[in-house]
A and B are shown apart, each in its own frame.
Chain A
Amino acid sequence: MRRVTTFSQIVRTCEEKKWKFADYFLHQEMEWRRRNGEDSSPETILEKMDINLRVMESSVKEGINGVQSYSGLTGYDATRLNTYRSEKASLGQSIYLDAVVNAIAINEVNASMGLICATPTAGSCGVVPGILLAAREHLKLNRRQQLDFLITSGGCGLMIGNLASISGAEGGCQAEIGSASGMAAAALAEAAGGSPRASSNALAIAIKGLLGLVCDPVASLVEVPCIKRNATGVVNAITAAEMALAGMLSRIPTDEVISAMYSVGQLMPSALRETALGGLAQTPTARRYTRELKQTGKITWQDSKKLPSSE
């Protein structure tokens, strides 16, 4: 199989062969492993992906039970959200809320030195699984469809990483949460029955929505604003998938959107690319947290263990 390098080529190949993105990326993975002398059977690949999925499931469970970050700055927000969902859900139940609970849970586990699966990075590890574990309930996805969701996400991330970047130090947060959101949007559109063209459009719309997002981690930690931005990535992805499933088209082709993301990353000053020298990281409060962390090894902003009573 010829190794194609653009989304427009992938969509065309899928249309010719009547493939989904997941079929395409599974074949690509088999080809890569065969060339590398590794076991290239689909069963092995699916089994390997299933291990990743099990880690995602365990992270959500752990996060909802309640974890605090190692620094002390964040924690127990997934528990808050989960309680809110089951007791009030003032805006009603939705796939959005379910996915947000999962995404916050997973990223809080990451900050607590818990076990996670990077997707594509540790700081953005809540977006793709957050949506998958919500969508599988709402769309009644079987195990194979769930693994296909991850294969499509992974394949799209591979494309973005090679055409642009998935590193906050290189491209800012748009490269981490933005990429994760694009990956999840494409996979969600596909899981909901959308065509490869719809997935490609979902990815483009999602990336455009977060274009220019800076990486400005408070006290250099993977916590603020990272954890809540995983929720931003989730709602952005679901919305992009909805638009693409409705037949809306990105006026700028997907490949050009990804190039634009790369060039925005290049233009972004280094103060806004993970160095904690700008943005939220340089606010007076953030500087106070940074000093406190340096002096005491912990940050105390409140007793985060105490869950607020439903005021």
Chain B
Amino acid sequence: MAKFHSIFDIIGPIMIGPSSSHTAGAVRIGLASRAIFGEMPENVQITFFGSFAHTYKGHGTDLALIGGLLGLSTANPDLRYAYDRAKESGMKVKIVTSKEKMKHPNTAEVRMTRGSRTVSVTGISTGGGSIDLVEIDGFNVHVHNDNPVVLIFHMDRPGVIASVTHIIGKHRLNISQMEVSRKTKGKLALMLIATDGDIPDDTLEEISAVEHVVQIIDLSEIRREPDAAKALMAKGAAQ
């Protein structure tokens, strides 16, 4: 089966060097973490595992991840100054490396805190700038950045899942992947829904009105992000 379909898979992407897996992928993990946290964290602890732990310094993987947390795209030349930008934004960053063996060599855990609120996200860089998220706030997940993905935090009660999927089906959207996980019976649970097309905002609003739905996080940002690179270029950043 053909792996590549478009000439732009070969001539492109436009990105900040030096490595699609250690730089562009790390930016995307940062962007995804920020989207999940929903606001600028005051404190961030980034833990690098495997190859990331060994080579993050030379590849600027730390800068890339911090840049992503600040909302910079994979093509933003400001990534180089991510530590300065973080300081200006009042975001304190701590980098830790771990010898713990992970399933994938390019793994990073991001722990974000603001006030009393803490959320952790673990992502892996799978190559060519693609990422998977494997853990969100203690829930094991499998999020790939190919499809539009929505995370729905909800109380573990009967009927919630059916109500949510009913709304999606009613709007004629096709679910391509779905995962449900919980840590404790009857407590907070996470529903992960990937769809073939973007879920419109009004549909998301309808879902958020469902009883026992606590929070909805739309991860389409991490997919739209390469377009941000194009927009940057169109504005003449290359001149």
Contact = CB atoms under 8 A, between A and B. Distances in A.
A51 interface: yes
A112 B10 CA distance: 22
A115 B4 contact: no
A167 to B, nearest CB: 7
Nearest to B11: A154
A278 B233 CA distance: 39
B29 interface: no
A54 B17 contact: no
Contact of B238 (A57, A153, A158): A57
Interface stretch (B58-66, B171-179, B185-193, B208-216): B58-66
A49 B11 contact: yes
Given A25-B7, A122-B19, A167-B127, A51 B14 contact: yes
Interface in A104-155: 109-123, 125, 128, 150-151, 153-155
A29 interface: yes
A153 B10 contact: yes
Given A52-B11, A158-B7, A293-B57, A58 B18 contact: no
Given A58-B238, A154-B10, A294-B54, A221 B16 contact: no
Q: Interface of chain A, helix or strand or loop or mixed?
A: helix
A114 B63 CA distance: 13
A166 B7 contact: no
B57 A297 contact: yes
B170 interface: no
B233 to A, nearest CB: 5
Q: Which bucket holds chain A's interface residue count?
A: 35 or more
Contacts of A221: 18, 55, 58-59
Contact of B79 (A69, A113, A119, A223): A113
Given A58-B239, A169-B127, A220 B7 contact: no
Contact of A166 (B10, B12, B237): B10
Contact of A48 (B8, B10, B17, B63): B8
Interface residues of B, number: 39
Contact of B54 (A114, A220, A298): A220
B1 to A, nearest CB: 9
A15 B230 CA distance: 36
Interface in A281-311: 293-294, 297-299
A100 interface: no
Contacts of A119: 10-12
A136 to B, nearest CB: 16
Contacts of B80: 70, 112-114
A157 interface: yes
Given A158-B9, A219-B55, A297-B57, A113 B14 contact: no
A161 interface: yes
A214 interface: no
B71 to A, nearest CB: 17
Contacts of B2: 162
Nearest to A50: B233
Interface in B33-70: 51, 54-55, 57-60, 63
B76 to A, nearest CB: 9
A177 interface: no
Contacts of B51: 220
A54 B233 contact: yes
Given A51-B233, A115-B238, A110 B18 contact: yes
Contacts of B233: 51, 54-55
B238 A113 contact: no
B4 to A, nearest CB: 5
Interface of A: 25, 29, 32-33, 48-49, 51-52, 54-55, 57-58, 69-71, 73, 109-123, 125, 128, 150-151, 153-155, 157-158, 161-162, 166-167, 169, 183, 219-223, 293-294, 297-299
10 contacts: A70-B58, A70-B60, A111-B18, A112-B18, A113-B60, A120-B11, A158-B9, A158-B10, A162-B3, A169-B127
Q: Which 4 A-B pairs have the closest CB atoms?
A: A154-B7, A110-B17, A157-B10, A58-B238
Interface of B: 2-20, 23, 51, 54-55, 57-60, 63, 75, 77, 79-80, 127, 230, 233-234, 237-239
